[in-house]
Structure 1
Amino acid sequence: MNFIISNLATIVVGLLLVAIVAGIIIQMRNDRRKGKSLCVSKCSSCPMGSSCHKR
């Protein structure tokens, strides 16, 4: 119990970071299932443009 009290700030920040990363991963997975692209620019300028989208 003493360990938790003395490291409470570190534990809270760590849990917050884990929650943020999990939220990002879930959002990316949901976007991928909906068919949304993770690309920011047009695929013609992307070296992986032919492999990331089904044509």
Structure 2
Amino acid sequence: MGRWYINSSCFQQKGNSRKAWKGRALVVVKSNYEAGEIKLSVTSPTLEESAINIKMVK
């Protein structure tokens, strides 16, 4: 599974999990310049799990 990167004025973090802020999260995907597929999934104790596949082309 790929890793994601968050950048804001108060923090920078790389990882495969992150807590939401006021029910929102921003994900920035850093390219490795290779074609492939990224699966981004979200879970919550109170909401249904959801996922999206992002196709990366070279």
TM-score category (smaller protein):
under 0.3
Q: TM-score, normalised by structure 1?
A: 0.18
Structure (1 or 2) with the greater strand fraction: 2
Report 1 or 2 for greater relative contact order, CA contacts < 8 Å, sequence distance ≥ 6: 2
> Which has the greater radius of gyration?
1
Structure (1 or 2) with the greater helix fraction: 1
Q: TM-score, normalised by structure 2?
A: 0.18
